[in-house]
Amino acid sequence: MPFSSPFDFSSSSPNPLASELEAILCAIYNGCKYGIKIRLPHALVMTFLFRRDLSSIDKLKMICKVTLEHSRNLGSFAGIYKTLLALLKYASQSLYWKKRKKVLLRAFGRILGAAFFVKSPYQQPSLEPIPTLSPPGMPQSPSHSFLAGLIGGYTIWGNPSSINYQIVLYLLSRILMGSLSLAKEKYITHNKAIPIAFFKRLKSCTTFDKMYPLLAAGVWAIVMVLFEEYPHVLHPSLRRSMDEIYKFVTDSGGDTFAGQGQALGGGNVGNATDGASALFTSGTSNIEFVEEE
Protein backbone atom coordinates (compact mmCIF):
# COMPACT_ATOMS: atom_id res chain seq x y z
CA MET A 1 0.00 0.00 0.00
CA PRO A 2 1.49 3.38 -0.97
CA PHE A 3 2.30 5.87 1.75
CA SER A 4 0.27 9.04 2.08
CA SER A 5 1.89 12.08 0.55
CA PRO A 6 3.48 14.60 2.94
CA PHE A 7 3.30 17.17 0.12
CA ASP A 8 0.14 18.86 -1.06
CA PHE A 9 0.41 21.39 -3.86
CA SER A 10 -2.67 20.41 -5.88
CA SER A 11 -5.13 21.68 -3.28
CA SER A 12 -3.76 25.22 -3.42
CA SER A 13 -3.31 25.34 -7.20
CA PRO A 14 -5.30 23.73 -10.02
CA ASN A 15 -2.17 23.69 -12.19
CA PRO A 16 -1.50 20.04 -13.25
CA LEU A 17 2.23 20.75 -13.12
CA ALA A 18 1.88 21.26 -9.38
CA SER A 19 0.30 17.82 -9.11
CA GLU A 20 3.16 16.33 -11.12
CA LEU A 21 5.66 17.99 -8.77
CA GLU A 22 3.78 16.57 -5.81
CA ALA A 23 3.94 13.08 -7.35
CA ILE A 24 7.70 13.40 -7.90
CA LEU A 25 8.43 14.60 -4.34
CA CYS A 26 6.10 11.98 -2.89
CA ALA A 27 7.89 9.22 -4.82
CA ILE A 28 11.29 10.42 -3.58
CA TYR A 29 10.02 10.57 0.02
CA ASN A 30 8.37 7.14 -0.17
CA GLY A 31 11.44 5.56 -1.78
CA CYS A 32 13.80 6.87 0.89
CA LYS A 33 11.42 5.90 3.68
CA TYR A 34 10.86 2.39 2.32
CA GLY A 35 14.61 1.86 1.84
CA ILE A 36 15.23 2.59 5.51
CA LYS A 37 12.26 0.48 6.58
CA ILE A 38 13.32 -2.60 4.61
CA ARG A 39 17.13 -2.42 4.87
CA LEU A 40 17.79 -1.26 8.44
CA PRO A 41 16.43 -4.31 10.31
CA HIS A 42 17.89 -6.68 7.70
CA ALA A 43 21.35 -5.11 7.89
CA LEU A 44 21.18 -4.97 11.68
CA VAL A 45 20.47 -8.69 12.06
CA MET A 46 22.75 -9.96 9.29
CA THR A 47 25.72 -7.80 10.29
CA PHE A 48 25.67 -8.77 13.97
CA LEU A 49 25.12 -12.45 13.10
CA PHE A 50 27.67 -12.95 10.34
CA ARG A 51 30.26 -10.16 10.57
CA ARG A 52 31.90 -11.21 13.81
CA ASP A 53 35.26 -10.09 12.45
CA LEU A 54 34.22 -6.43 12.81
CA SER A 55 34.16 -4.30 15.90
CA SER A 56 30.91 -2.85 17.19
CA ILE A 57 31.73 0.57 15.71
CA ASP A 58 32.54 -0.94 12.31
CA LYS A 59 29.32 -2.93 12.41
CA LEU A 60 27.30 0.22 13.04
CA LYS A 61 29.15 2.00 10.25
CA MET A 62 28.37 -0.85 7.83
CA ILE A 63 24.70 -0.86 8.86
CA CYS A 64 24.43 2.89 8.28
CA LYS A 65 26.29 2.62 4.97
CA VAL A 66 24.09 -0.07 3.39
CA THR A 67 20.90 1.48 4.79
CA LEU A 68 21.81 4.89 3.39
CA GLU A 69 22.71 3.40 0.00
CA HIS A 70 19.48 1.43 -0.24
CA SER A 71 17.37 4.40 0.80
CA ARG A 72 19.21 6.85 -1.46
CA ASN A 73 19.00 4.60 -4.50
CA LEU A 74 15.29 3.89 -4.11
CA GLY A 75 14.50 7.56 -3.61
CA SER A 76 16.73 8.68 -6.50
CA PHE A 77 15.29 6.13 -8.90
CA ALA A 78 11.73 7.03 -7.93
CA GLY A 79 12.44 10.72 -8.49
CA ILE A 80 14.10 10.14 -11.87
CA TYR A 81 11.34 7.78 -12.97
CA LYS A 82 8.48 10.13 -12.08
CA THR A 83 10.29 13.14 -13.55
CA LEU A 84 10.85 11.35 -16.86
CA LEU A 85 7.21 10.22 -16.94
CA ALA A 86 6.06 13.83 -16.56
CA LEU A 87 8.49 15.08 -19.22
CA LEU A 88 7.52 12.35 -21.69
CA LYS A 89 3.84 12.95 -21.04
CA TYR A 90 3.96 16.66 -21.85
CA ALA A 91 6.43 16.15 -24.69
CA SER A 92 4.05 13.71 -26.37
CA GLN A 93 1.18 16.13 -25.79
CA SER A 94 3.19 18.94 -27.38
CA LEU A 95 4.07 16.78 -30.37
CA TYR A 96 0.42 15.87 -30.81
CA TRP A 97 -0.67 19.52 -30.99
CA LYS A 98 2.12 20.37 -33.43
CA LYS A 99 1.04 17.50 -35.65
CA ARG A 100 -2.61 18.52 -35.35
CA LYS A 101 -1.70 22.11 -36.29
CA LYS A 102 0.05 20.91 -39.46
CA VAL A 103 -2.96 18.79 -40.43
CA LEU A 104 -5.34 21.72 -39.92
CA LEU A 105 -3.11 24.07 -41.94
CA ARG A 106 -2.99 21.53 -44.76
CA ALA A 107 -6.76 21.16 -44.68
CA PHE A 108 -7.18 24.96 -44.71
CA GLY A 109 -4.91 25.17 -47.77
CA ARG A 110 -6.99 22.55 -49.58
CA ILE A 111 -10.16 24.51 -48.79
CA LEU A 112 -8.67 27.71 -50.23
CA GLY A 113 -7.42 25.86 -53.30
CA ALA A 114 -10.81 24.24 -53.87
CA ALA A 115 -12.60 27.58 -53.45
CA PHE A 116 -10.48 29.68 -55.79
CA PHE A 117 -8.78 27.32 -58.21
CA VAL A 118 -10.14 23.78 -58.40
CA LYS A 119 -13.79 22.99 -57.79
CA SER A 120 -13.53 19.76 -55.82
CA PRO A 121 -15.71 18.37 -53.06
CA TYR A 122 -14.60 19.23 -49.54
CA GLN A 123 -12.93 16.42 -47.62
CA GLN A 124 -12.85 16.72 -43.87
CA PRO A 125 -9.32 16.17 -42.51
CA SER A 126 -8.79 13.01 -40.51
CA LEU A 127 -7.70 14.04 -37.05
CA GLU A 128 -6.63 11.74 -34.27
CA PRO A 129 -8.70 12.07 -31.11
CA ILE A 130 -7.26 14.40 -28.50
CA PRO A 131 -5.38 12.21 -26.00
CA THR A 132 -6.47 12.48 -22.40
CA LEU A 133 -3.61 13.14 -20.03
CA SER A 134 -2.98 10.38 -17.52
CA PRO A 135 -3.24 11.20 -13.81
CA PRO A 136 -0.22 12.90 -12.19
CA GLY A 137 2.69 10.52 -11.74
CA MET A 138 1.20 7.91 -14.09
CA PRO A 139 2.63 6.97 -17.52
CA GLN A 140 0.89 8.16 -20.67
CA SER A 141 1.80 4.91 -22.46
CA PRO A 142 3.73 1.68 -21.72
CA SER A 143 6.61 2.96 -23.84
CA HIS A 144 7.03 5.86 -21.40
CA SER A 145 7.33 3.41 -18.48
CA PHE A 146 9.90 1.38 -20.38
CA LEU A 147 12.01 4.39 -21.37
CA ALA A 148 11.88 5.98 -17.90
CA GLY A 149 12.76 2.68 -16.23
CA LEU A 150 15.57 2.10 -18.72
CA ILE A 151 17.20 5.47 -18.06
CA GLY A 152 16.64 5.34 -14.31
CA GLY A 153 17.88 1.76 -14.06
CA TYR A 154 21.09 2.51 -15.93
CA THR A 155 21.71 5.71 -13.97
CA ILE A 156 20.97 4.45 -10.44
CA TRP A 157 21.20 0.66 -10.46
CA GLY A 158 23.96 0.33 -13.06
CA ASN A 159 26.67 0.66 -10.42
CA PRO A 160 27.54 -2.95 -9.40
CA SER A 161 27.49 -2.48 -5.62
CA SER A 162 26.32 -5.19 -3.24
CA ILE A 163 22.91 -3.55 -2.69
CA ASN A 164 22.29 -2.90 -6.39
CA TYR A 165 23.41 -6.41 -7.32
CA GLN A 166 21.04 -7.98 -4.81
CA ILE A 167 18.06 -5.87 -5.90
CA VAL A 168 18.64 -6.48 -9.61
CA LEU A 169 18.80 -10.25 -9.06
CA TYR A 170 15.65 -10.07 -6.93
CA LEU A 171 13.81 -8.18 -9.68
CA LEU A 172 15.10 -10.59 -12.32
CA SER A 173 13.52 -13.56 -10.57
CA ARG A 174 10.26 -11.67 -10.11
CA ILE A 175 9.97 -10.52 -13.73
CA LEU A 176 10.72 -14.04 -14.99
CA MET A 177 7.81 -15.42 -12.97
CA GLY A 178 5.61 -12.49 -13.93
CA SER A 179 6.45 -12.93 -17.61
CA LEU A 180 5.49 -16.60 -17.46
CA SER A 181 2.16 -15.69 -15.86
CA LEU A 182 1.58 -12.99 -18.48
CA ALA A 183 2.40 -15.40 -21.31
CA LYS A 184 -0.07 -17.90 -19.91
CA GLU A 185 -2.74 -15.21 -19.53
CA LYS A 186 -2.27 -13.63 -22.96
CA TYR A 187 -1.39 -16.62 -25.12
CA ILE A 188 -2.93 -19.72 -23.59
CA THR A 189 -6.12 -18.11 -22.28
CA HIS A 190 -6.97 -15.90 -25.28
CA ASN A 191 -5.45 -17.74 -28.24
CA LYS A 192 -8.30 -19.12 -30.34
CA ALA A 193 -5.88 -21.07 -32.57
CA ILE A 194 -5.34 -23.65 -29.83
CA PRO A 195 -7.80 -26.56 -30.03
CA ILE A 196 -10.26 -26.63 -27.18
CA ALA A 197 -9.27 -30.11 -25.98
CA PHE A 198 -5.57 -29.28 -26.01
CA PHE A 199 -6.28 -25.94 -24.40
CA LYS A 200 -8.16 -27.52 -21.49
CA ARG A 201 -5.43 -30.11 -20.94
CA LEU A 202 -2.67 -27.52 -21.16
CA LYS A 203 -4.48 -25.22 -18.76
CA SER A 204 -5.00 -28.02 -16.25
CA CYS A 205 -1.31 -28.98 -16.44
CA THR A 206 0.05 -25.46 -15.98
CA THR A 207 -1.60 -24.54 -12.71
CA PHE A 208 0.59 -23.12 -9.97
CA ASP A 209 0.11 -26.14 -7.71
CA LYS A 210 1.46 -28.47 -10.40
CA MET A 211 4.22 -26.27 -11.79
CA TYR A 212 5.73 -25.01 -8.54
CA PRO A 213 7.04 -28.43 -7.33
CA LEU A 214 8.77 -28.88 -10.71
CA LEU A 215 10.29 -25.41 -10.45
CA ALA A 216 11.53 -26.08 -6.90
CA ALA A 217 13.01 -29.43 -7.94
CA GLY A 218 14.82 -27.90 -10.91
CA VAL A 219 16.20 -24.96 -8.93
CA TRP A 220 17.57 -27.15 -6.16
CA ALA A 221 18.98 -29.69 -8.60
CA ILE A 222 20.90 -27.00 -10.49
CA VAL A 223 22.17 -25.17 -7.40
CA MET A 224 23.44 -28.40 -5.82
CA VAL A 225 25.33 -29.35 -8.99
CA LEU A 226 26.91 -25.90 -9.08
CA PHE A 227 27.74 -26.08 -5.38
CA GLU A 228 29.38 -29.50 -5.63
CA GLU A 229 31.23 -29.02 -8.92
CA TYR A 230 31.64 -25.27 -9.54
CA PRO A 231 31.30 -23.48 -6.17
CA HIS A 232 33.33 -20.48 -7.35
CA VAL A 233 30.48 -19.34 -9.63
CA LEU A 234 27.97 -19.00 -6.80
CA HIS A 235 27.38 -15.79 -4.90
CA PRO A 236 29.71 -15.57 -1.85
CA SER A 237 26.88 -15.26 0.69
CA LEU A 238 25.07 -18.27 -0.80
CA ARG A 239 28.28 -20.25 -0.84
CA ARG A 240 29.02 -19.38 2.79
CA SER A 241 25.54 -20.51 3.82
CA MET A 242 25.79 -23.80 1.92
CA ASP A 243 29.28 -24.49 3.26
CA GLU A 244 28.00 -24.03 6.80
CA ILE A 245 25.18 -26.51 6.15
CA TYR A 246 26.91 -29.18 4.05
CA LYS A 247 30.55 -29.17 5.19
CA PHE A 248 31.56 -31.92 7.61
CA VAL A 249 34.59 -33.29 9.49
CA THR A 250 35.95 -36.69 8.52
CA ASP A 251 36.99 -39.36 11.02
CA SER A 252 40.60 -39.04 9.88
CA GLY A 253 40.75 -35.49 11.19
CA GLY A 254 40.75 -33.68 7.87
CA ASP A 255 38.08 -31.04 7.41
CA THR A 256 36.20 -31.75 4.20
CA PHE A 257 33.99 -29.09 2.70
CA ALA A 258 31.07 -30.10 0.53
CA GLY A 259 31.20 -28.15 -2.67
CA GLN A 260 34.98 -28.35 -2.88
CA GLY A 261 35.36 -32.10 -3.28
CA GLN A 262 38.60 -32.52 -1.32
CA ALA A 263 40.04 -32.06 2.15
CA LEU A 264 41.29 -28.59 2.95
CA GLY A 265 44.63 -28.40 4.70
CA GLY A 266 46.74 -31.18 6.10
CA GLY A 267 44.35 -32.44 8.74
CA ASN A 268 44.51 -29.60 11.27
CA VAL A 269 42.01 -26.89 11.99
CA GLY A 270 44.32 -24.01 11.12
CA ASN A 271 45.01 -25.25 7.60
CA ALA A 272 41.36 -26.08 7.08
CA THR A 273 40.40 -22.55 8.07
CA ASP A 274 42.90 -21.11 5.61
CA GLY A 275 41.49 -23.37 2.90
CA ALA A 276 37.94 -22.28 3.72
CA SER A 277 39.00 -18.65 3.47
CA ALA A 278 40.47 -19.30 0.05
CA LEU A 279 37.27 -21.07 -0.96
CA PHE A 280 35.16 -18.09 0.08
CA THR A 281 37.25 -15.54 -1.78
CA SER A 282 38.18 -17.41 -4.97
CA GLY A 283 36.40 -16.60 -8.17
CA THR A 284 34.53 -13.55 -6.87
CA SER A 285 34.39 -10.13 -8.41
CA ASN A 286 35.72 -6.97 -6.82
CA ILE A 287 32.30 -6.11 -5.39
CA GLU A 288 32.10 -5.68 -1.64
CA PHE A 289 29.25 -8.05 -0.93
CA VAL A 290 26.92 -7.84 2.03
CA GLU A 291 25.24 -10.86 3.61
CA GLU A 292 21.84 -11.22 1.99
CA GLU A 293 20.33 -14.54 3.00
pLDDT in tens, 211-269: 788 888 998 899 999 999 999 999 888 898 888 898 775 555 555 544 444 333 333 43
Handedness of CA 152, 153, 158, 161 (dihedral sign): positive
pLDDT digits (tens, 9 = 90+) for 161-186: 889 988 999 999 999 888 888 877 77
Helix/strand/coil for 135: coil
Q: Tell me the pLDDT of the chain averaged across its residues.
A: 76
Separation of alpha carbons 50 and 238, rounded Å? 13
pLDDT score of 144 more than 60 = yes
pTM of the model: 0.69
Separation of alpha carbons 77 and 73, rounded Å? 6
Cross-strand pairs, 42: none
Using alpha carbons only, what angle is made at residue 174 by residues 173 and 180, rounded to the nearest 5 degrees? 95
pLDDT score of 274 more than 60 = no
Predicted local distance difference test score (pLDDT) of residue 260: 46
250 compared with 91, residue with greater pLDDT: 91
Separation of alpha carbons 242 and 264, rounded Å? 16
Helix/strand/coil for 151: helix
Contacts of 243 (CB under 8 A, 6+ apart): 257, 258, 259, 276, 279, 280
Nearest alpha-carbon partner for 83 in 165, 156, 25, 41: 25
